[in-house]
Every structure is written in structure tokens, then in C-alpha cells.
Amino acid sequence: MSEPLQDTLRGRIALVAGATRGAGRGIAVELGAAGATVYVTGRSTRERRSEYDRPETLEDTADLVTAAGGRGIAVPTDHLVPSEVQALVARIADEQGRLDVLVNDIWGGEHLFQWDTPVWEHDLDKGLRLLRLAVETHAVTSHFAMPLLLRRPGGLVVEMTDGTAEYNRDRYRVSFFYDLAKSSVLRMAFALGQELGPRGATAVALTPGWLRSEIMLDTFGVTEDTWRDALERVPHFGISETPSYVGRAVAALAADPDVARWNGESLSSGQLAQVYGFTDRDGSRPDAWRYLVEVQDADKPADTTGYR
């Protein structure tokens, strides 16, 4: 089993936007395990929950970052409110004078999209709200954060999405609005790469595989300790991964002095594990997107042999 990249990011400052749960929390904690100071944002706090009405809180994420070896700082922020994002970045600038890593993981759409529902039947208000949460928030955050990130050379922006550019190009993803949201974030990373590259920074799109997030585990009625109990009902769930896996992918990217080689590209946790050598928490290296193409989408029986 690979260990976190201890102290490789000591002294580095990161902002994980959308870190209350799921991939965002996993990324924040692994950046902390590598020694970074991590500002974590979201809308669910110990005093007030977002419309998700979930138990995970931003303060809990910050505590996990600190416990992992970094320094977690929780800043409740609605990234659809420009003044709040502007104040967040101003605070980081005042307290740290720099920003080395920005992770745009804001999503908030699980309760908004309708599976396999055409655009004319999909609830319009929910669809448009999904686009605002998944796309507009990223644009607002980048608008305010880029000047601080560019103060020093070597900055990294990670746009979190679902699916690689190659996979999403030829496949319909769930619904019109979901498909558009995830494709937009992929393109956002490419565009940021064009703008940041000549200025000494790097932008990438990154997707986890089948993520064992808190919501996914609850959906299947299992926990992280008992997740394999879901395989009888959902056999392909065997390729799934913890949020720590994509978190280690971000930590590896942030620690790579040659990270600019990835500028503008679409990456996956499984792909980067092969390059950087990190593993998931159980010591495996799930390669979900290759598995989906070669096994699940090919209608073959579930078998993760050779894929994790």
C-alpha cells in the first residue's frame, strides 16, 4: 500500500472549493496528508445544512485535513455569490499571500438531474439550477482566484468532472443537463490551460472512477467497511474507489515539478496511479474508465481482474 506523499506539499497553500463530502473531502484530506494548508469551502456547516440536508459538514473536513498532517481552514462559501468568493480569495491573500493549488470540485447536483429523461421532459428549473451549480460556480471561482494563483510560477488548477474527454465524447451521460455540465467542465480545463500555460501555471480536468462517496454508499445501503455487500446487486461496483484515490492523484500532481506536461489535458485517477505509483487505501489501483469501456459497456460479466 502506498503512503501519502508526506511533507511534499509542506508550505503550499490550496483551496478546495466544494470540499464538504465526496471527492472534494478526499482531495482536501490527501493534500493535508502531504503537508499542505488547505482552505475548504462549501455550504453545509455545523450550524446550517444546504439543500442536500446531509450530515457531513465543512468543519469536519477541515478537522480531517488537520488530523492528516496539514492545516485545514473551513470557510463557508456559496460559490454562486461573487462577493463571497471575492472575500474568500481576499482572505487567502491576506493570510497567506499566495495560492498554489485550486481544486474546483463544486457540484451539488445529485438531487437535480433525472436519469434518462430527455430535455423536454426534464424539470427545467432543476436542470438550469444544476448548470449554475456545476458550471457557473467554477467560472466565478476561477475569475477571482486566478490573479492570486498567478503571483508565483507553478500554480495548479484542477477542474473536477465525471468522465474523461475521450469517454464522454461518444457517450450520452445520464441526461441533457448532466451531460452538458460535465462536458463544460472538461472544456473549461482546456480553456484555462490556454490562458494559464503561457503565464507559468497549469490547468487539468480530473475525474475519479466509480466513487464510493458518502451518498453512493448510502444509496446502496452499505458502508466503506461493507461496500462489497453491494456487489450481488451491482456487480460492476467492484471497480469502485474511495475518495482518497483521486485525492492522492491531486497530491501527486501538485508535487510534480513537471506538472506542466499535463496542461489542458483530461486525466483520471486510475491513469495517474499508473504514472505516479500511488494506490487506493486498500493497496489496489482501480482503472475504472478502462474497465467501463472494456467490460461494463461491452456487456461482459463483471470481473475486475487486471483492472485494480
Kindly list the structural domains of the chain, giving each domain's residue range(s) and its CATH number in brackets, ordered by start: 13-296 (3.40.50.720)
207 neighbors 271 (Cβ within 8 angstroms): no
Closest CA to 80 of 44, 42, 53: 42
The CA distance from 129 to 85, in Å, is 19
pTM above 0.85, yes or no: yes
The pLDDT tens digits along the chain (308 residues) read 345 577 899 999 999 999 999 999 999 999 999 999 999 999 988 888 887 888 889 999 999 999 999 999 999 999 999 999 999 999 999 999 999 999 999 998 888 888 889 999 999 999 999 999 999 999 999 999 999 999 999 999 999 999 999 999 999 998 999 999 999 999 999 999 999 999 999 999 999 999 999 999 999 999 999 999 999 999 999 999 999 999 999 999 999 999 999 999 999 999 999 999 999 999 999 999 999 999 999 999 999 999 99
The CA distance from 227 to 214, in Å, is 11
Task: Indicate the length of the chain as a whole number.
Answer: 308
45 neighbors 76 (Cβ within 8 angstroms): yes
Write a three-state SS string for the chain.
Answer: CCCCCCCCCCCCEEEEECCCCHHHHHHHHHHHHCCCEEEEEECCCCCCCCCCCCCCCHHHHHHHHHHHCCEEEEEECCCCCHHHHHHHHHHHHHHHCCCCEEEECCCCCCCCCCCCCCCCCCCHHHHHHHHHHHHHHHHHHHHHHHHHHCCCCCCEEEEECCCCHHHHHCCCCCCHHHHHHHHHHHHHHHHHHHHHHHHCCEEEEEECCCECCHHHHHHHCCCCCCHHHHHHCCHHHHHCECHHHHHHHHHHHHHCCCHHHHCCCEEEHHHHHHHHCCCCCCCCCCCHHHHHHHHHCCCCCCCCCCCC
Position 108 scores a pLDDT of 83
